[in-house]
């Protein structure tokens, strides 16, 4: 089966929408700060919001929307793949059961909500320290408050981008892994975003067949500082993704396979023996 482009790749629109949702939450907080009458009240608003049920609810809603988009986008990819592969019926059955059992993804939503709430706590801590330094340098209360509002994009944008980029990729990989394991599909092809921002270690992994049960340490393979073993999309700032291997014909042979701590070139016959001679 010929590979069709960008199979199982998270759509950029999901990350953009998630980043926009986080920005809206932080912008809402900024608007609350505009009504503060003193630096002390500004800090009270920040700390109160970071602990509030309102933030927790908004964070969960943003995270749930992101996961829902990935859930349905991924389901479409799997259904399309099922039309061409030998495991079509099994894949259809996996997706059908998954649609009725959405609670599997509650941990992803919970983790993302915590990242957003901790972001608000981090901003509160940063503003507290900045104000303390400002007081020491003789700044007036009005100046301190003005500085916070002016620096708000700087205080929040980087974290919003990091959370959206990293967590969209991690959530997408987690959903793909659950579906693949449910369908008995043990192998995937490591795919990068194929642009100038791809790091050397991940560029080295591009196109390599890997197993869910034995992910590589991309950095260790090129003798860089290791961040441990992980699947594509599971590490910070990573935009790589796993393209599930549905059929031997998805790739050309011989092909690069990660096995036993190193990457080797393997013939189709050898790879089939690795799988006990059975179909993927």
Q: Which of 125, 151, 184 marks a domain boundary?
A: 184
Q: Which two tokens stand for residue 30?
A: 């900024």
Burial 251-265 (b: 16+ CB within 10 A, else e): beeebbbbbeeebee
Structure tokens at 217: 């340490």
163 and 260 in a single domain? The answer is no
Q: What is the pLDDT of residue 155?
A: 92
Q: Which of 122, 149, 184 is the last residue of a domain?
A: 184
Percent of the chain with pLDDT over 90: 70
Going by C-beta distance under 8 Å and a sequence separation of 6 or more, which residues neighbour residue 46? 29, 33, 120, 123, 124, 127, 128
Q: What is the pLDDT of residues 41-72, one digit of tens each?
A: 999 999 999 999 999 999 999 999 999 899 88
Phi first, then psi: give them for residue 190, nearest 5 degrees: -70, 120
- Does 178 lie in the same domain as 39? yes
Same domain? 261 vs 200: yes
Tens digit of pLDDT for each residue in 83-111? 765 566 666 666 666 655 666 678 899 99
Q: Are residues 95 and 26 in the same domain?
A: yes
What pLDDT is attached to residue 183? 82
The residue among 184, 210, 245 that closes a domain is 184
Give residue-wise pLDDT tens across range 165-214: 999 999 999 989 988 888 888 999 999 986 657 889 999 999 999 999 99
Say whether both 30 and 97 belong to one domain: yes
102 lies in the same domain as 167 = yes
Indicate whether 177 and 194 sit together in one domain: no
Structurally, how many domains does the chain consist of?
2
pLDDT value of position 1 = 39
Q: What is the mean predicted confidence (pLDDT) over 108-117? A: 94
**Mean pLDDT to the nearest integer, 220-241:** 95
Q: Domain containing 255: what range? A: 186-280
Q: Closest Cα to residue 70, out of 241, 250, 203?
A: 241
Residue given tokens 């950029």 in the structure block: 12
């Amino acid at each position: 089966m010929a590979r069709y482009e960008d199979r199982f790749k998270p759509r950029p629109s999901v990350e953009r929408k998630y980043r926009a949702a986080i920005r809206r939450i932080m912008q809402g907080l900024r608007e609350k700060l505009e009504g503060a009458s003193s630096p002390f009240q500004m800090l009270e608003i920040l700390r109160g919001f970071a602990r509030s049920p309102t933030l927790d609810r908004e964070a969960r809603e943003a995270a749930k929307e992101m996961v829902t988009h990935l859930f349905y986008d991924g389901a479409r990819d799997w259904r399309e793949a099922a039309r061409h592969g030998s495991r079509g019926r099994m894949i259809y059955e996996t997706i059908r059961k998954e649609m009725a059992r959405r609670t599997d993804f509650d941990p992803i939503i919970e983790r993302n909500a915590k990242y957003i709430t901790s972001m608000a706590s981090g901003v509160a801590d940063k503003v507290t320290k900045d104000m303390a330094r400002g007081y020491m340098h003789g700044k007036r209360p009005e100046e301190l408050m003005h500085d916070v509002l002016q620096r708000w994009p700087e205080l929040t944008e980087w974290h919003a981008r990091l959370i959206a980029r990293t967590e969209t990729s991690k959530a997408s990989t987690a959903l793909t892994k659950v579906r693949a394991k449910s369908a008995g599909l043990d192998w995937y092809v490591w795919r990068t975003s194929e642009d100038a921002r791809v790091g050397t270690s991940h560029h080295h992994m591009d196109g390599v067949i890997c197993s869910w049960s034995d992910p590589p340490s991309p950095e260790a393979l090129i003798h860089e500082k290791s961040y441990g073993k992980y699947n594509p999309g599971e590490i910070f700032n990573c935009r790589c993704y796993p393209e599930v291997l549905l059929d031997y014909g998805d790739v050309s042979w011989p092909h690069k396979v990660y096995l036993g701590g190193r990457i080797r070139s393997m013939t189709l016959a050898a790879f089939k023996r690795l799988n006990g001679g059975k179909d993927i």
